Structure 1
Amino acid sequence: MSAGNAEQAVHDTGAAGGGAAATNDPTSPAELAALLASTGYLADDGLAMAGYLALRLRRPLFLEGDAGVGKTAFAAALAKATGAQLVRLQCYEGLDAAQALYDWDFPRQILHLRAAEAEGRKDLENGLYDRRFLIARPLLQALEQSPCVLLVDEVDRADDEFEAFLLEVLADAAVTIPELGRIEAKTPPLTILTSNRTREVHDALKRRCLYHWVEHPDVERETQILRTRLPDVAERLATQVASAARKMRELDLIKPPGVAESLDWAAALDTLGTTDLDKETAAATLGAVLKYREDIERVRATIQDIL
């Protein structure tokens, strides 16, 4: 993985939580669904129930489902709806504890040593491991912020060793830094873990979480999502896009479209001034909703049935 991607993976911050009392504390799944809707996220009854129980029981929530169904967006909406701070840890193969937890700012430490040496101080290492030289990565950020929603995104992409480390951090809501001692969360973050099921996550991690499989929305709810997120899109077009996306998911495609792709397609069609989807326009814009040549060719061959 490139250094740039690694930096993005460990510096993304947003709203998350695990047991924090947030500004808005919903008293029912329906109230949580309404709060999420106020942020633009339309959750079905099952997801609203899972989110509500995670909040009330102070348990991590493990969300599994196809890519693009709104797992990551749910964590961001939950943080916004409850007034919590979002901290995001993007997982990838090779992610280790140092990249997820903390690191020392070596350039500043070297400057500190040089300054001490220039002043003729003999205790050159005094203050070298001061808290001001510590770079907090997402897991440490989540422990130090309250209320907080910690999003561990695509945990299935991380290695088994990182899963074991994550399990320990979540169980204790604390870490020990040898040079500084133990840092414990005043209020444990509400943790949302997501997985696209590229591999099975260990049972030990799942057992400590509430679980919910996030389904693709039905046509009616997907139409509502499109209209909420893209209010300028004509209602007829939103319905056509949602219906076509639903039919594509029933095909044996390499990568069926998620809601994220439906939004991209609707936005592209709206940019073209489309208000009524026809087969020529649909075929010409499939690159906005499908990401594999084989999928595009298959859908184009049956475009009349899709519409």
Structure 2
Amino acid sequence: MQTIDDVQTMLADQGYVCGRALATVVFLSQSLGRPLFLEGEAGTGKTEIAKALAASLGRDLIRLQCYEGLDAASAVYEWNFAEQMIAIRTAEAAGGADRNALKSELFTEDYLIPRPLLQAMRPNPKGAPVLLIDEIDRTDAPFEAFLLEALSDFQVTIPELGTIKAPEPPLVILTSNRTREVHDALKRRCLYHWVDYPTFDREMDILTARVPDAARDLSREVVAFVQRLRGEDLFKTPGVAETIDWAKCLLALDVITLSPEVISDTLGAILKYQDDIQALQGSAAKRLLDEARADLATG
């Protein structure tokens, strides 16, 4: 990637349409070897950019899906206890096993199960992989503190084996849906970008790239309706992922144009909470559709 335009072109080739600001921070992240921290609402394309980047560069994508209670051991490595037990039983059956020698043999690479962080630190013939640390806001402060070493020096420590340092730093992307604030110490080690909901034109470009078989008039109605829907008082605002899902559903149903009835029947593709779906039934759906069409007429 020589320029910011190259980044946009490469990602577009993978069906990921992004603005220049996002392309700039991706370019700088790769040029400077700094982790990229992407924050924003769910469904705005944070995870997808890591997938598109890995595909465009021909690199492996290694994903660490975060969750409450995730600890360093689960993220870095585990010992293959089943194989270790078999080795112990085999040695005992053979008789005369040297306990100290057996202990040293059990904690070697042969019995190590690498997890995402360790996988990302190892040499790779394709080049440094893309390491996606997804939804970091779901973890807790101790795990964030552990990541400081990994992201500062691109190395991890296994007590039995020592410190393992990446020969070439992986391309790191962290995402957060901002369910809680991530500590400043972690953010300082990253370049930051807020991934917002796209404008009408950009969302049209995204939908055209991801659902090319959808008729343009229907796509315009879908995007205009979702853009209006985001202005409603909802428990969960639909993201771009929901726009794409909805368009695919309408295409599968051979829908040519939106109607209040079609919208009511397919709301489950764009809204994921019953209270939100209930609020959009009947006259509310018709009102939003009328407003969306008025936007298209004046836009």
1:162-186: CA deviation from partner (whole Å, max 9, x where unpaired):
0001112111211221211221100
Larger Rg: 2
The structure with the greater share of residues assigned to helix is 2
Q: Does 1:131 align with 2:109?
A: yes
Q: Does 1:218 align with 2:199?
A: yes
Contact 2:134–2:175 (Cα < 8 Å) also in 1:
yes
Contact 1:220–1:239 (Cα < 8 Å) also in 2:
no
State the match for 2:167 in structure 1: 186
Q: 1:157 aligns with which of 129, 133, 138?
A: 138
Mapping 1:98-117, distance limit 5 Å: 98-117=73-92
How well do the aligned residues superpose, as a CA RMSD in angstroms?
A: 1.2
Secondary structure of the equivalent of 2:228?
A: helix
1:79-111: CA deviation from partner (whole Å, max 9, x where unpaired):
111222111111111000111010100000011
Mapping 1:46-65, distance limit 5 Å: 46-65=21-40
Which consecutive unaligned segments of at least 5 residues does structure 1 have? 1-25
> In structure 1, how many angstroms separate the alpha carbons of the residues matched to 2:76 and 2:96?
32
State the match for 1:290 in structure 2: 271
* Identity across matched positions, percent: 52
State the match for 2:295 in structure 1: none
Mapping 1:198-217, distance limit 5 Å: 198-217=179-198
Secondary structure of the equivalent of 1:273?
A: coil
State the match for 1:4 in structure 2: none
After TM superposition, the score normalised by the length of structure 2 is 0.91
Q: Does 1:45 align with 2:26?
A: no
Which consecutive unaligned segments of at least 5 residues does structure 2 have? 290-299
Amino acid at match of 1:200: E
State the match for 1:66 in structure 2: 41
Contact 2:136–2:174 (Cα < 8 Å) also in 1:
yes
State the match for 2:208 in structure 1: 227
After TM superposition, the score normalised by the length of structure 1 is 0.89
Contact 1:67–1:258 (Cα < 8 Å) also in 2:
yes
Contact 1:113–1:125 (Cα < 8 Å) also in 2:
no
Which contiguous aligned blocks of 4+ residues in structure 1 show a shift greater than 4 angstroms? Answer: none
State the match for 2:54 in structure 1: 79
